[in-house]
């Protein structure tokens, strides 16, 4: 057991030492003494070799006199976790109730206390799809029975006629036993009833009352490659829709960041040709907003999983109110200015979501 522990410690220390023993410009490894507590006593930064003038390197920002102990490794691990957690609990409450203030402070440069928009976005997206995976996915599509094509209907009618003719020939045969003949007459009656149905179906096809298999109506003469590709992919998705859903589920979280650039043109339309608000401001707003709305979606899913449907109405009603507060606080709008932008932005959101789903479907089917 001690050998395993020593081996792990050696591996970790080796990783920490990788930069220290890396050859310098002269080709010789940098040798730095350690004190009794395992701290380096360097005079130059171990990262960029800039002369140190304090507790941190003024050139690259790395802390001076780092530990070279296994305990320091786990200290850094806990510090990273708790540091993120501390920022998380400072960011989420403010994002929930004072989203405009949070976004405006971040844009104005007060960022040390808060999680960056993209980090929060990725964190929420990860949690969302982790919960979806734990819940067993987003469900399956129950396929109904397919309607027979026109060719299949015509072939069925012809097959029924052949079987009726064969059965009639058998009945007319003197050697056929009466019991067998009675069974065949029942079969003929059943087949004739089926023939009436399929004959009517064939007639409906000929009259155009039943639409042809819904292939996309492209003109093969103008763009045969697009027509063939789209119709092929359409048939594949129709044949196995659950596979399409699975591919969308497993790939959508990887490309969820596309929601941000898809939203930016619409945000610009709310403040066209504004010199006060830059594209960066819109990006921060959109990223924080999508992260919070995704969090509300997770909350709705959890409430639904625990059969607390009456409570689902709360986050659904809070979403537009949050959007109003977010816009008003971030951009310093009046009540009227925030309200009309919320109404317009609500329409834009549906366009963005539809575009995202179409883009995802196209990428998955490629």
Sign of CA dihedral 115, 121, 122, 126: positive
* C-alpha–C-alpha distance, residues 98 and 92, integer Å: 10
Q: What is the DSSP letter of 256?
A: G
Q: Bridge partners of 23?
A: 29
Domain ranges of the chain: 1-83, 99-140+238-365, 150-207
Choose from 48-57, 219-228, 329-338 the range with maximum mean pLDDT. 329-338
Nearest Cα residue to 214 out of 266, 149, 290: 149
pLDDT for 348: 95
Evaluate if residue 225 carries a pLDDT over 70: no
Q: Is 192 helix (H, G, I), strand (E, B) or coil?
A: helix
User: 297-315 pLDDT, tens per residue?
Assistant: 888 888 887 888 888 899 9
Please give the C-alpha separations between residue 312 and each of 34, 135, 303, 307, 323, in angstroms, as whole numbers.
59, 18, 6, 10, 18
Q: How much of the chain exceeds pLDDT 90, in percent?
A: 24
Q: Give the model's confidence band at 27: pLDDT under 50 very low, under 70 low, under 90 confident, else very high.
A: very low
User: 74-111 pLDDT, tens per residue?
Assistant: 666 666 655 666 788 889 999 999 999 999 999 998 88
Tokens of 307: 């059969």
pLDDT for 72: 65
């Amino acid at each position: 057991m001690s050998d395993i522990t020593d081996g792990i410690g050696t591996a970790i220390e080796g990783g920490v030492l990788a930069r220290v023993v890396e050859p310098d410009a002269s080709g010789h490894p940098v040798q730095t003494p350690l004190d009794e507590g395992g701290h380096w006593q360097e005079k130059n930064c171990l990262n960029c070799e800039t002369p140190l003038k304090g507790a941190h390197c003024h050139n690259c920002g790395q802390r001076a006199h780092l530990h070279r102990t296994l305990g320091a490794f786990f200290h850094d691990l806990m510090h990273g976790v708790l540091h993120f957690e501390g920022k998380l609990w400072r960011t989420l409450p403010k994002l929930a109730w004072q989203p405009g203030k949070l976004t405006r402070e971040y844009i104005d440069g007060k960022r040390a206390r808060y999680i960056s928009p993209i980090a929060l976005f990725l964190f929420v997206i990860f949690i969302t799809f982790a919960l979806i995976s734990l819940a067993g996915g987003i469900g399956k599509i129950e396929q109904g029975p397919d309607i027979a094509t026109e060719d299949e209907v015509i072939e069925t009618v012809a097959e029924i006629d052949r079987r009726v003719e064969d059965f009639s020939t058998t009945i007319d045969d003197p050697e056929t036993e009466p019991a067998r003949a009675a069974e065949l007459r029942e079969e003929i009656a059943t087949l004739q009833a089926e023939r009436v149905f399929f004959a009517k179906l064939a007639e409906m096809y000929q009259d155009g009352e039943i639409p042809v298999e819904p292939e996309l109506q492209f003109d093969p003469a103008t763009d045969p490659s697009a027509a063939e590709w789209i119709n092929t992919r359409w048939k594949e998705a129709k044949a196995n829709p659950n596979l399409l859903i699975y591919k969308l589920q497993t790939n959508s979280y990887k490309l969820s960041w596309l929601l941000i650039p898809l939203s930016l043109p619409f945000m610009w339309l709310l403040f066209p040709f504004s010199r006060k608000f830059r594209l960066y401001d819109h990006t921060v707003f959109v990223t924080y907003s999508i992260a919070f709305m995704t969090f509300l979606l997770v909350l709705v899913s959890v409430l639904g999983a625990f059969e607390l449907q009456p409570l689902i109405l709360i986050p659904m009603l809070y979403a537009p109110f949050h959007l109003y507060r977010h816009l008003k606080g971030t951009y310093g709008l009046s009540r009227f200015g925030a309200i009309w932008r919320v109404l317009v932005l609500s329409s834009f959101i549906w366009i963005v979501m539809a575009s995202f789903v179409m883009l995802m479907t196209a990428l998955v089917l490629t």
